[in-house]
């Protein structure tokens, strides 16, 4: 399956022109987008959608309400021109051993919902004057779905960018050099985001406590030099007593 980019562009233009007739925006698919790594001056937006998949090997089809969509947006204030790059993450067939990530297909209702949320994000981030922040249109499953999200065969989960509890948001460009590392995978143009693994604060506290204990040692007040002086003084007093007698 492939995304009907012509339909996406047409729907996107209708929605954005309805809200901002004088603005010029373009939309294109980009399979190289990476999470938390927008180019300088760009903003990031994420959402989920309901989509249909078909395995190119066995022709098996399935539906998912966890299709991850990543968008990077940029707007030039002086020319009133904006750009949107979109990456739609795929899923693999559960039945085939050597299956590839398949691109989903979206119904007209799902496409409208995706692009309406995108336009709402653009209006809130670039045209704030007098606008109230509105809630996102929720994902509506078009058929009953059984079971949990198949994270093992989800491209976004494999790359560490899915996060089932994650809501759409905008982030600033990351300064980490890992943003620009590309690793080849079964999906062309896939960028891999490797999050920093923070050290366990509890483990760090234990290590710090253990180090402090090893350095400080026992604190019972017994200093060998003091004890030696006391013994010498005691011997001196005893000898003095015997000699005086």
Tens digits of per-residue pLDDT, 3-27? 889 999 999 999 999 999 988 999 9
Is residue 63 exposed (0-12), middle (13-18) or buried (19+ Cβ within 10 Å)? middle
Alpha carbon distance 245, 242 (integer Å): 5
Give the C-alpha distances (Å, rounded to integers) separating 140 from 32, 117, 135, 164: 28, 13, 15, 16
Sheet holding 43-54, edge to edge: 24-29, 81-88, 61-76, 43-54
pLDDT at 49 over 70: yes
Per the confidence metrics, is the pTM higher than 0.75? Answer: no
Count CA atoms within 13 Å of residue 201 on its CB side.
0
> 49 with 110: CB under 8 angstroms?
yes
Q: Which of 61, 155, 59 is nearest to 105 (CA)?
A: 61
- Residue 125 neighbours by CB distance under 10 Å: 13
Segment among 4-18, 43-57, 165-179 with least mean pLDDT: 165-179
- Mean pLDDT, residues 63-76 taken together: 96
């Amino acid at each position: 399956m492939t995304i009907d980019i012509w339909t996406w562009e047409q729907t996107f233009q209708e929605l954005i022109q309805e809200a901002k007739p004088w603005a010029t925006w373009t939309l294109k698919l980009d399979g190289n987008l990476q999470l938390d790594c927008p180019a300088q001056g760009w903003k990031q937006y994420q959402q989920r959608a309901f989509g249909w998949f078909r395995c190119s090997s066995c022709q098996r089809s399935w539906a998912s309400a966890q299709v991850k969509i990543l968008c990077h947006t940029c707007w030039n204030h002086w020319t009133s021109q904006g750009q949107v790059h979109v990456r739609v993450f795929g899923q693999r067939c559960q039945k085939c051993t050597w299956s590839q990530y398949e691109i989903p297909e979206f119904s007209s209702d799902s496409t409208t919902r995706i692009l309406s949320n995108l336009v709402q994000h653009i209006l809130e981030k670039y045209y704030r004057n007098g606008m109230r922040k509105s809630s996102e249109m929720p994902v509506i499953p078009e058929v009953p779905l059984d079971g949990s999200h198949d994270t093992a065969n989800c491209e976004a989960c494999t790359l560490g960018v899915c996060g089932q509890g994650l809501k759409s948001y905008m982030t600033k460009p990351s300064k980490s050099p890992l943003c620009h590392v590309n690793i080849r995978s079964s999906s062309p143009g896939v960028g891999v985001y490797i999050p920093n693994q923070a050290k366990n604060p509890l483990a760090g506290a234990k290590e710090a406590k253990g180090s402090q204990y090893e350095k400080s040692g026992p604190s019972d007040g017994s200093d060998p030099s003091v004890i030696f002086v006391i013994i010498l003084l005691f011997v001196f007093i005893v000898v003095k007593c015997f000699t005086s007698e």
